[in-house]
Amino acid sequence: MPDEDDLRDLEDSDLKFVPVTLMQLARGVTQVESCENCNPEAGIPFDWILRAIADAKDYVDYILPAPGICPKCRAEIHEKTLVQPIGNSEAANRI
């Protein structure tokens, strides 16, 4: 269930919604080592990985065509799912 801050964000006129293609989603998942379901150390929101792939630099929220799948435990990965990126991914290099 979304909290009040999440709902307020949806009303923000500066927020842009960026659709993610299946190819972009697949590229993002290839940069994931594990997710919060199987790794308590996962701490990067999946949308950080999507940001580099979708090349969206503004205040955005992503619309996935389907959930990604964690390569380690097969759990669904959504935009805000915490993940552990593979060591050489763009998201891992930004930490």
Residue 87 lies in a domain: yes
Residue 10 lies in a domain: no
Number of domains in the chain: 1
Residue 35 lies in a domain: yes
Which residues are within 8 A (CB) of 64 and not within 5 positions of it... i.e. 6 or more apart?
Answer: 20, 25, 78, 79
Residue 42 lies in a domain: yes
pLDDT tens, position by position, 36-69: 999 999 999 999 999 888 877 778 888 999 999 9
Q: Which pTM value belongs to this model?
A: 0.78
> Residues of 17-44 as b/e, b for ≥16 C-beta within 10 angstroms?
ebebeeebbebbbebbbbbbbebeebeb
Residue 9 lies in a domain: no
User: Which residue segment(s) compose the domain that 87 sits in?
Assistant: 15-93
Residue 30 lies in a domain: yes
pLDDT at 29: 97
Q: Judge contact between 60 and 15, C-beta under 8 A.
A: yes
